[in-house]
Amino acid sequence: MTSRDLAHYETRNAICEYGRSLLEDDLTTGTGGNLSARLDDDLVAISPSGVPYDDVTPADVPVVKTDGTVVEGEVEPSTELPMHLAVYESRPDVGGVVHTHSPYATTFASLGEPIPASHYLISFTGTEVPVAEYRTHATAELGEAAVESLGEEFNATLLRNHGVLTADESLSDAYTVALMVEYCARIHHQAKAIGDPEILPDDEIDRLSDKLDAYGQ
């Protein structure tokens, strides 16, 4: 096995592991949601379509070109492939994308309400989690809406009446953002049920983002 093949295998295996984590962390149900990782400038690995996460093996994880052509894998890629590819095309800084149906964040997506900075951990995503316009799932139009909402400054967006999309430098980072989005959504929901949450100003969130970037280095 060449070093390139080994790297591809490790990434495809990571997609299997994080797929199982989606269920364990209550970020989705059944076979909902999907994950991907950039392998190089031309190739992306993405979770397969319709296979229970517990059953997915690295060989099942498709590798596709940036035009959507499958070059490796024994199962069809996720139907949300167009959305993932749209993010990679528009954001060269992104190395991993995670799409979830996490319950608290998806509640806000169904309301069409952004998640504001009522908790400092929103700084993993930006100054808020914005909401993308509704588009039919598994379409290029959904990818366009997600990309427009993410812009250059956000690492997450709510997909209206659908779920959550996160994007970051690696699959691991994008998964962490997905966890933070759900946590912040839950805290904001609970705070709203009691009273009026206090919202942190943008400059404080920007300062916190800089601290997070330097954390552990």
Burial 107-145 (b: 16+ CB within 10 A, else e): ebbeeebbbbbbbebbbbbbbbbbbbeebeeeeeebbbb
Q: Which of 10, 72, 80, 113 is catalytic?
A: 80
Residue 63, φ and ψ in degrees, nearest 5: -110, 125
Write out the DSSP string of 60-95: GS-EEETTS-EEE-SSPBPTTHHHHHHHHHH-TT--
The two tokens of residue 130 are 């914005």
Rg (CA), the chain: 17
Alpha-carbon distances, residue 145 vs 70, 76, 83, 108, 204 (angstroms): 24, 24, 9, 17, 28
Bridge-based pairing of strands 131-132 and 156-159 is parallel
CA 45 to chain centre: 14
Catalytic, 74? Answer no
CA 41/CA 183 separation, integer angstroms: 32
CB 96 within 8 A of CB 172: yes
The two tokens of residue 69 are 């052509």
- Positions marked active-site: 80
